[in-house]
Amino acid sequence: MATILQNETLLKEHAKVILGYIGVFAFTVGVQLYAKVHLELKHKKAKKEAVERGEDPKNIRINRYTTDDLIILSTDRSVMNFIEFAPAFMGLFVTHAAVVGDCTKLGWYYVGLRVLYPFLAMNGGITHRGPRPLIFLATFPMYGILGMLASGIYKKVY
């Protein structure tokens, strides 16, 4: 069996992509946290207004999974989508880097699209009716990158 060798500079560039990817995940979770705090403050305000109207504040309930708040919906979906595709991206990126060679540009494009995803989601890309065409500006190119990584591995292995 052949030994796979990569130069140290290329290994570091691939590591930077992975660190960038992890950083974007932390950013996406941070945006989700912002949305949760936003929803909690909205709920607190609604309870206060209920008290001012003489209503029982216990009747004011919020469920983040059934709410009509599009911010929490879109940020939750952004995190879920990130988690759903993390194994595919990481597996293909690392395998391509090890077996085929340099894929840093594709990796950075993917990372950039991951940054874009929550913004598209919060600006109409995700609604209660599901994904809207705006979100496809991020998802379709990401699928394409995953396909390119897989294709490169396939060509090298077979």
Beta strands in the chain (DSSP E): 126-127, 130-131
Distance in angstroms (rounded) separating the CA atoms of residues 84 and 148:
19
pLDDT on residue 4:
59
Taking each helix axis from N to C end, the angle separating 70-99 and 104-120, rounded to the nearest 10 degrees, works out to 170
145 in Cβ contact with 88 (< 8 Å): no
Domains of the chain in start order, with CATH, are 9-157 (1.20.120.550)
The structure's pTM equals 0.87
- pLDDT tens-digit readout, 59-94: 888 777 777 888 899 999 999 999 999 999 999 999
Q: What is the DSSP string of 57-92?
A: GGG----TTT---HHHHHHHHHHHHHHHHHHHHHHH
